[in-house]
């Protein structure tokens, strides 16, 4: 109840059917207001605690990233670096291939996103607007592979890529330790086909039927009529695929083992536990890696959230 509502209720009190006198009524209203406020404070405190837990580990990385790893073990503990140092970053850039990994990650994630967007949109357009014998069966077959975990086909995919790598010409582009071999197997998820098909089916079919009757080629219809309407869906799918790909670990771990093609996740994890873990360098690398994503995220948060929802719901 807002203040004005309370006042309105106060005026009703003139009528004798209420047993409350003015004083009791106000006391009751105050009691309710206080309990409401307590509940509100409780709710926001709880939410804040979870926010601290969510963001805290990343924020705390700043401390170990800017101090000597040895000082981590000092007693009494140091919360903030007493002698801030950029030694960890110097090590990261001089003695590891961090920059190379970052470039590889960009190439990998961009490549997968482009391949997925192009192939998925084309296939989705065919599945949504063309009826050919067996289109239902084929779509169901593709759809059935939607949830296949990378892990479950990791080894046979590895074998396939290695086999293709042995073929003439094509083997130069698709092999273990090539960008082609890294990118293509990561771009096969039918999720995008499914998402784009759902989206195209929401468009009025008169849109492309009319153009078809006028004799426009399918390619022209897709480019001139359907594609402009697909832009939001393409952005959502693009963000989703990019985020999933740059964060992936398992496939790049087995497909790209040399430094020329190694990606960030695999590279940074290789700092963990090689001989003695250099905790400071690990923290520095992790911090450096999440800062750019966080900045991009803060600018485009609405799209990000939409993308992750679209990916999970698929409905």
Partner 1 sequence: MDAGSPPTAAPGEPWADLTLSTSEYRRQARRLRSRASRRAVGFLAPYLVIWGAFLAVPVAWGIFLSFNKGGIIGDREFVGLNNWRKVVRDTELRQAATNTAVYVVVAIGVVFGLAIFLAALLNKHRGAGNFFKVALYFPLLAPPILGAMMWFFMVHFDFGIVNVIQRLLGGSGINFLGKNPNALLTIVAVEVWRGLGFWVLFYLAGLQSVPEELLGAAKLDGARPWRRFTKITIPTLRPLLLFAFIVAVIFNVQIFDSVKVLTDGGPALGTSTVVWFVFKRMFAFQDTGLAFATSVGLLLVVLILTLLSFWWSGEHRQRRS
Residue ranges in 120-149 that form contacts with partner 1 under rule CB under 8 A: 120, 122-123, 125-127, 130-133, 135, 138, 142-149
Instruction: Find the binding residues for partner 1 in span 263-282 (CB under 8 A).
Output: 264-265, 268-269, 272-273, 279, 282
Instruction: Find the binding residues for partner 1 in span 61-90 (CB under 8 A).
Output: 61, 64, 72-73, 76-77
- Can residue 202 be called a binding residue for partner 1 (CB under 8 A)? no
Instruction: Find the binding residues for partner 1 in span 150-189 (CB under 8 A).
Output: 150-157, 159-161, 164, 184-185, 187-188
- CB 173, min distance to partner 1, A: 13
Task: Single out the residue of 240, 239, 289 nearest to residue 104, CA to CA.
Answer: 289
Given candidates 10, 31, 57, 90, which one binds partner 1 under the rule CB under 8 A? 57
Instruction: Find the binding residues for partner 1 in span 101-120 (CB under 8 A).
Output: 115, 118-120
- Site track 15-54 with partner 1 (rule: CB under 8 A), x = hit: -------------------------x--xx-xx--xx-xx
Q: Which stretch binds partner 1 (CB under 8 A): 21-29, 92-100, 231-239, 293-301?
A: 293-301
- Can residue 58 be called a binding residue for partner 1 (CB under 8 A)? yes
């Amino acid at each position: 109840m807002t203040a004005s509502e309370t006042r309105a209720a106060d005026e009703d009190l003139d009528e004798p059917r209420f047993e409350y006198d003015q004083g009791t009524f106000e006391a009751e209203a105050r009691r309710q207001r206080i309990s409401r406020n307590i509940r509100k404070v409780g709710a926001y405190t709880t939410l804040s605690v979870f926010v601290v837990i969510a963001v805290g580990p990343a924020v705390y990385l700043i401390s170990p990233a800017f101090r000597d790893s040895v000082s981590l073990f000092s007693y009494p503990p140091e919360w903030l670096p007493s002698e801030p140092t950029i030694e960890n970053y110097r090590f990261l850039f001089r003695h590891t291939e961090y920059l190379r990994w970052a470039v590889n990650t960009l190439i990998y994630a961009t490549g997968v996103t482009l391949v997925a967007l192009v192939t998925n949109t084309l296939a989705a357009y065919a599945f949504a607007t063309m009826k050919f014998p067996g289109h239902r069966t084929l779509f169901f077959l593709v759809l059935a592979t939607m949830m296949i975990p990378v892990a479950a086909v990791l080894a046979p995919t590895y074998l396939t890529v290695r086999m293709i790598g042995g073929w003439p010409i094509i083997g130069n582009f698709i092999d273990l330790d090539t960008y082609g071999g890294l990118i293509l197997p990561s771009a096969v998820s039918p999720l995008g086909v499914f998402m784009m098909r759902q989206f195209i089916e929401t468009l009025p079919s008169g849109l492309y039927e009319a153009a078809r009757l006028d004799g426009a080629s399918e390619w022209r219809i897709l480019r001139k009529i359907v594609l402009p309407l697909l832009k939001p869906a393409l952005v959502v799918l693009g963000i989703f695929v990019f985020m999933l790909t740059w964060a992936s670990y398992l496939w790049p771990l087995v497909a790209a083992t040399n430094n020329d093609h190694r990606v960030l996740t695999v590279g940074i994890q290789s700092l963990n536990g090689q001989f003695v873990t250099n905790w400071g360098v690990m923290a520095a690398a992790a911090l450096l890696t999440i800062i750019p994503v966080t900045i991009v995220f803060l600018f485009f948060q609405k799209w990000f959230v939409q993308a992750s929802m679209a990916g999970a719901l698929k409905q």
